[in-house]
Amino acid sequence: MGLNVLILTGDRDALQLVSSKTKVMLTRKGITEVELFDEGKVWDKFGVTPAQIIELKALQGDQSDNIPGVPKVGEKTALALIKSHGSVEEIVNNLDQVIPKYQKLIRGNEEMALLSKKLATIVRDVPMELDLSLCSWRGPDNQKLLELFQELEFKTLIRQLTSSVSQVKQKSKEKQKNEIDLPPLETYQVGYKTIAGQETLDDLLVAASHAREIGIYLEGDRREGIKCAYLAIPDKDIYLLFPEKVDESQGIPQLSVLKALCENKDIKKFFHDAKAAIWLLHKHNICLNNLAFDTMLASYLINPTASDYELYDIALDQLGIVLPTKGEAASAARADAILRLSEVLLNKLAQRRRPPLS
């Protein structure tokens, strides 16, 4: 096919394959050191052509490959014979022209030498049909990797997997023509609405009042307060409040809506790590009423020996979903996951409840 080939191996037998189109990268000391062989390097290293590597091995043998060779013929003797005569066949067919001290070694072992050469030769004329397009590296099967990592509870690797897939998607527009997309990894996706006006605010208030429960995911820190809030309403939309940094001095309506919802005693609120959420709300003088469920606390009660209780891990364990790691869509998915987890974990806690002692 006229292709340039690079063979990476720790087997010196592959040196016989070196040609103008084929190079061998030979590993040494594991994979920490490698040595690249072309035709010139083989000659410099062994004093023979790549094809004559076979002849050397036929004469001196190789115990590791069960190649007997010729008894009492070592590397120096084999090299001298090949340099003088070129091949095992030439030595066997013209044994009288071989130096007497070497004749004694070869005579009676001709068949062994020829058999050893056959054993040392890598067969190249194997009939096969090759579709090079099927040999291209297309990346890992991320979905199967995810299933395996879940089974083995490799949480760190799961996060690295989802993060790397996310980065590949972001760079997909810049990829070269010869680059191949990674197989997709299914992450949990939900739709959401960004509060853009009074009409959307009204929709949110009406939906929350009718549902009488909401899942809330807050982003921010204790110093600056809430940067954005995602509100998930059962069988309804997910709403994004505060698309920009909160500025209470301007009386942004979204803040008052969040306050009204959080302080409404008739609406149940579901959080993950409610303690952290209460701190954020307190920054804006919002009092949280009717805290109905905390998925972090519930997860601890169900499995007190877990190494951590992050929402990402709990959603994967309890719902079998992979939450996205970045962006607005990721936060919206977290709000929805909190709502879904609340029902699942509440049922599990109810099943664990012991009957009262008589």
Determine the pLDDT at residue 186: 74
Residue from 322, 272, 321, 310 nearest 166 by CA = 322
At 173, the pLDDT band (50, 70, 90 cuts) reads very low
Q: pLDDT, tens digit, for every residue of 265-296?
A: 999 999 999 999 999 999 889 999 999 999 99
Determine the pLDDT at residue 139: 77
3-state secondary structure of 223: coil
Sign, Cα dihedral of 302, 306, 308, 311: negative
Burial 38-65 (b: 16+ CB within 10 A, else e): eeebbeeebebbbbbbbbbbbbbbbeee
Determine the pLDDT at residue 247: 43
- Residue 194: its H or E element: strand 193-194
Determine the pLDDT at residue 271: 97
Q: pLDDT, tens digit, for every residue of 194-221?
A: 877 777 778 888 889 899 999 999 998 8
Domains of the chain: 5-120 (1.10.150.20), 140-169 (no CATH), 193-352 (3.30.420.10)
Determine the pLDDT at residue 252: 52
Question: Strand (E) positions, 203-250?
Answer: 213-221, 225-232, 238-241
- Residue 268: its H or E element: strand 268-271
pLDDT of 243 over the 70 cut: no
Determine the pLDDT at residue 178: 43
Q: pLDDT, tens digit, for every residue of 112-149?
A: 999 999 999 999 888 888 888 888 777 778 888 888 88
Largest CA distance in the chain: 109
Q: pLDDT, tens digit, for every residue of 2-44?
A: 789 999 999 999 999 999 999 999 998 777 789 999 999 999 9
Query: Which has more pLDDT, 1 or 167?
Result: 1
pTM confidence score = 0.58
Which residues make beta-bridge pairs with 218?
A: 229
pLDDT of 61 over the 70 cut: yes
